[in-house]
Structure formats: C-alpha cells, structure tokens
Amino acid sequence: MPAKVYFTDTHSRSHEESKMVKVARLCDALNLKKIVKKNELAAVKLHFGEYGNDTHLNPTLVRQVVDKIIAAGGKPFLTDTTTLYSGSRHNAVDHLQTAYLNGFAPSVVGAPVIIADGLFGGNDVPVRSNCKHFKEVHIATEIRRAPSMVVLSHFKGHQMAGFGGAVKNLAMGGASVRGKREQHATHVSVNKDDCIGCAKCVHSCPQQALSMRDHKSHVETARCIGCFECMTVCPAKAIVMDWATEMEPFMERMTEYAYGTVKGRNRRVCYINFVLNVTPDCDCVAWSDMPLVPDVGILASTDPVALDQACLDLVNSAPSLCGSAQEKNGEQDKFTARWPHTRGPVQLQYGEEIGLGNRAYELIRL
C-alpha cells in the first residue's frame, strides 16, 4: 500500500501561507499527538550545518516543529552526532558552538541542544539489525533512548551518497563515530598524476593518514578511516576510491544503519524533508554552492523511503538552474549527473528490500 507523503509548495502571498504556517500544517497532518506522548522526551534529529555553510535548515522553521511537539505535551530537544572528519563539529563542544552560531540557540528554537553520542562520539548502544552487512549496528545513545523522534532533513546532493534526505540523516546522523566508521569502511588513494601538491588533504585529515612525499600526497592506508574529507577539499580531485566496486556496498551499509536507528520504535518516528536550497553538496561542507533547481517545497511522512523517493522525483521533474551538468549530459537524475560515480537510488531500493520503508507513495497536497 502506498505511503502517504504530504506536500506543500513555497508560494506565499500572505501570513496564512508563510513557510512557518505550512510547516505547522505538515505537523498537524502527521498527527504528532500519536507520536509524541505527554511529558516524554522527543528528539528532533537534524543537521546543524558546518560553520560557513548557510543553506542548512532555517532555525525559525525548526521552531515551528518544536512548538508543535510542546503543544502535543512532549519535551523536545534538538540533536545530532559528532563527525568522523575534522571540522567545526568534530566533538560535542565545537558542535554545540557551531549549532549556536548557525542560529540553533535555545532562545531561537525553543529547545535545548544535546549532542547524542557524547563528548567525542563514543557513546552508543548496540541494536540488532540482522541485515546483509551488519548483524548489529551502533546507534548514538541519546537518539536511541529518546521515546519518540521527529527527523528534519535538508534534501540536497552529496558527493558520496548522491543525495541526502531522511535515510542518510538517520544513517550517518544516527550513528556514533564507531558506527560512521563501519558505514564508510573503505579507503582512498591518490592519483599522483593529478596531485598538485597543495597539501590541503594533509591538513584536513583527522587521522594524520596523509603526508607529502616528493611534493605529492601519500596515503597510509592503515590509518585511513574513509571519512572522505580529503576528497572534499582536494581542488584537483586527485583523491579517489574504487567507485565501481565500493559505492553500492557503501550505500547498503548506510541504509542498514538507517534501519537500525529506527528499528523497534513502534511508529513513533516521523519525518519532514525541506526541499529548499537544493545544493549539490551536503551541509557538512563549510560553504554553500548555488542550488541545482528552484525551491520545490516541504514534504512530510511517517515513511522515510517514500518521503525521499517523492523528494527525488520532484527534484528531477523541476527545471534546472544555470545550464547544470544534467542538461549537458542528458541525465534524468540531477544528482547522478552532478556526481556521476554515486548510486543514490540504492538507499531507496535497498531500504525497501530490508523493510525500512516503501518506495510507492501517494502525494497529498496541503
């Protein structure tokens, strides 16, 4: 049976049609009172954005969700996990500071911020998943312990996952550092012919796995944890991996972690995707490129797979901006056109296969 996916566009000519009002309507359509119980803690899982990124979720829109949770009797807190790569969210202190600088202060969003996997990302609990790659996954403690959860995701592109929405938010965002390492579980190499010797990769590596040898970057494979930060910062794109054999297993591992994050929650999770500022990169980068398409809208569902599928379909049917890559290559999938080596739809296909959700959906306009 198709899952219900609620949709509202971004057109507005009055206060009654503002984005804030529309987010509140989506919360009503999800019937938060069935998900959030009175006087119970409710996790609002989101991505606060790397410092320097300015297309992350708008805190004023997040506030509407917080207010609806409070109205339902719940006690909301905003949460995310520490990052595998170096940056402004690599430990809980830096992460909190970044969240506040990006506008997610309690005075703005109406709820405290709690980093779910502790000071250095080591706090997790095992969850039996019994899937192909993992029999057990490691989920951030406070995300797993929260009785209910509302997952807010910025739907956009991603250099490794193709695109990121609710599934990726659950997977990487729900895992501790140990869980993130298990998902990546691969290594990079350097194409010496392309390396320009700038050493940006060396300075970005959190494990000191990269060094300079004869003015070229060199990888110590035993130290590499596959965080791919070096690939992000390399201006010559000389950092590579075995795309042909590694991508689909990576996507499957990620999807199994998403499954583990919500397993056993007895339908006490719901999802809202913001298909606004659909940039080619994740909010993990410390910049924001121009969007691939105009703003599409905001969507909500209790099924993360159906929700991401609907978002992907709407993005692919939207007009492209500024002669983007898919127009030149004749690609249908805008994200694959931007990141040709990725396999984004695998997270939806495999998610349906393991029982995370259903790709079939009914789009309901509010």
Cα atoms in the 13 Å half-sphere on the side-chain side of 195? 24
At 148, list the tokens.
């209910």
Report how far apart, in Å, the C-alpha atoms of 262 and of each of 55, 129, 293 are: 27, 10, 31
Q: Measuring CA to CA, which residue among 217, 212, 209, 261 is closest to residue 239?
A: 217
The whole-number pLDDT of residue 188 equals 86
Q: What percent of the chain has pLDDT over 90?
A: 83
pLDDT 10s digits, 219-231: 988 788 888 889 8
Q: Is 272 in a helix, a strand, or coil?
A: strand
At 149, list the tokens.
């959860």
The whole-number pLDDT of residue 328 equals 52
Residues comprising the chain, all counted: 366
Number of helices (H) and strands (E) in the chain: give both, helices first: 15, 16
Report how far apart, in Å, the C-alpha atoms of 242 and of each of 51, 188, 217, 222, 245 are: 30, 8, 18, 17, 6
At 22, list the tokens.
């529309």
pLDDT 10s digits, 309-362: 999 999 999 999 965 554 555 556 899 999 999 999 999 999 999 999 999 999
pLDDT 10s digits, 185-212: 877 889 898 999 999 999 889 888 889 9
pLDDT band at 108 (very low <50, low <70, confident <90, very high): very high
Q: Is 75 in a helix, a strand, or coil?
A: strand
**How many other C-beta atoms are found inside a 10 Å radius of the C-beta of residue 10?**
16
The whole-number pLDDT of residue 34 equals 94
10/344 Cα distance (integer angstroms):
25
| pLDDT (average), residues 360-365 | 98
- Please give the angle made by the CA atoms of 336, 339 and 345, to the nearest 5 degrees: 40
119/113 Cα distance (integer angstroms):
13
The whole-number pLDDT of residue 231 equals 86
**How many other C-beta atoms are found inside a 10 Å radius of the C-beta of residue 107?**
6
342/72 Cα distance (integer angstroms):
40
326/184 Cα distance (integer angstroms):
27
Question: What mean pLDDT value characterizes the chain?
Answer: 94
Identify whether the C-beta of residue 117 lies closer than 8 Å to the C-beta of residue 90: no
Q: Measuring CA to CA, which residue among 280, 283, 281 is closest to residue 292?
A: 280
At 224, list the tokens.
């590499």
pLDDT 10s digits, 241-253: 777 788 999 999 9
DSSP string across 123-191: -EEEEE---SS-SEEEEEHHHHH-SEEEEEEE-EEETTTEEESHHHHHHHHHB-HHHHHHHH----EE-
206/228 Cα distance (integer angstroms):
10
pTM of full prediction above 0.85: yes
At 158, list the tokens.
């991603």
7/362 Cα distance (integer angstroms):
10
Identify whether the C-beta of residue 340 lies closer than 8 Å to the C-beta of residue 313: no
